[in-house]
Amino acid sequence: MNFLSINEWLLSFMPAGAVSIAKMVFIALIYLTVFAVLGLYLVLLERKVAAWFQLRLGPNRVGYKGMFQTLADALKLVSKELTGTVKADKFLYNLAPYFVIITALMALAVFPFTKDLQAYDINIGLFFLIAISSIGVIGILLGGWSSNNKFALIGAMRSGVQTISYELSVGLSLLTMVILSGSLQLSEIIEVQKDGWLIVQGHIPAMIAFMIYMISGTAETNRAPFDMVEAESELGAGFHTEYSGMKFAYFFLAEFINMFIIAAIATTVFFGGWLSPFGMTESIPFLGLFWFLAKTFVLVFLMMWFRWTFPRLRVDQLLTLEWKYLLPINLVNLVLMAVIVWLNLTIQF
């Protein structure tokens, strides 16, 4: 966020002492609004994409071509009674959804949507995102364990195995690009890409890292074909079987926001973030937001394409893919990228 302009605007009608608090509250409200609207839109987009792939109409009744369907669903969930099992661990049961939703919201804060639209630009931005994303699984583990339900517990245990396994490949594929960019700071990673997107600069190892990242990111967000955590045919609804109303909505919303976060990291690290292709619109700064969102939603569509194309893997296939294939390929690719940077074999324009 451009703090200088916000400071000047707030100082125009507030005393200097209150500006610091007002600034934090104002930015938090903006991000909460973006979070809610983004979640509702992604759910609608998922349903439209699913309908398109399956030759159905999808939502088409509430509003113009069903555009208010997810808003109606949100109002329904807000009004539903919050029920749970009698023998659940009440404290942990109620705490779990907030782990998932707050970590997703914290991750959004460090993304540079444009050169001047970033709430918090820290020098370990990429490391922060990896660390925050690993905390979300605690909410899933707590939710499944505290529900006192065998299906929920199995779903939670699967989540722990799956998320921890695939985080290794996510981290190593991003580390491969850190070797190329020379920085963990997201704004600096984008600046480096003014000479060409990193997926072009790093050519073959960068493309391999991107493919591994997208597969692992899809698995980390517990989406099909890696949705062993909430496999309907086996576990009812998995870890959130015993949740209803807004507590269920928090888990559901966080899945879609996490999908956006995975796509936004890929946009930032591989595809130049808010930079336009070939510098076409660099003289028009506000178009940076358009380019960032356009690239991100293309990758979101790719993840949705995965979901409605491939059948669900068995749990042994899921772990075999990570430990026997993706992880060894990632380690070799990491060394290959280091050699390419050392020998200065990168491609720049």
Q: What is the mean pLDDT of each successive set of 10 residues along the chain, which is 349 residues long?
A: 63 76 85 91 95 92 91 91 85 92 92 88 93 88 90 87 92 96 94 92 96 95 82 72 90 92 97 89 84 96 93 89 96 96 89
pLDDT of residue 154: 87
Q: Are 151 and 236 in contact (CB under 8 A)?
A: yes
Distance (Å, rounded) from C-alpha 172 to C-alpha 23? Answer: 36
- DSSP output for 33-51: HHHHHHHHHHHHHHHHHHH
pLDDT of residue 164: 87
Q: Are 127 and 168 in contact (CB under 8 A)?
A: no
Distance (Å, rounded) from C-alpha 126 to C-alpha 326? Answer: 21
- DSSP output for 220-286: HTT-TTS-GGG-HHHHTTGGGTT--HHHHHHHHHHHHHHHHHHHHHHHHHHS-TTPPGGGTTTT-TT
pLDDT of residue 233: 66
Q: Are 12 and 267 in contact (CB under 8 A)?
A: no
Q: Report residue 259: phi and psi, to 5°.
A: -65, -40
pLDDT of residue 3: 46
pLDDT of residue 185: 95
CA atoms within 13 A on the CB side of 26: 13
pLDDT of residue 203: 92
pLDDT of residue 231: 67
CA 303 from chain center: how many Å? 11
pLDDT of residue 235: 66
pLDDT of residue 283: 77
Instruction: Measure the CA angle with vertex 307, ends 63 and 101; round to 5°.
Output: 70
Q: Which amino acid appears at position 199 of this protein?
A: I
Distance (Å, rounded) from C-alpha 51 to C-alpha 338? Answer: 44
Distance (Å, rounded) from C-alpha 192 to C-alpha 179? Answer: 12
pLDDT of residue 218: 94
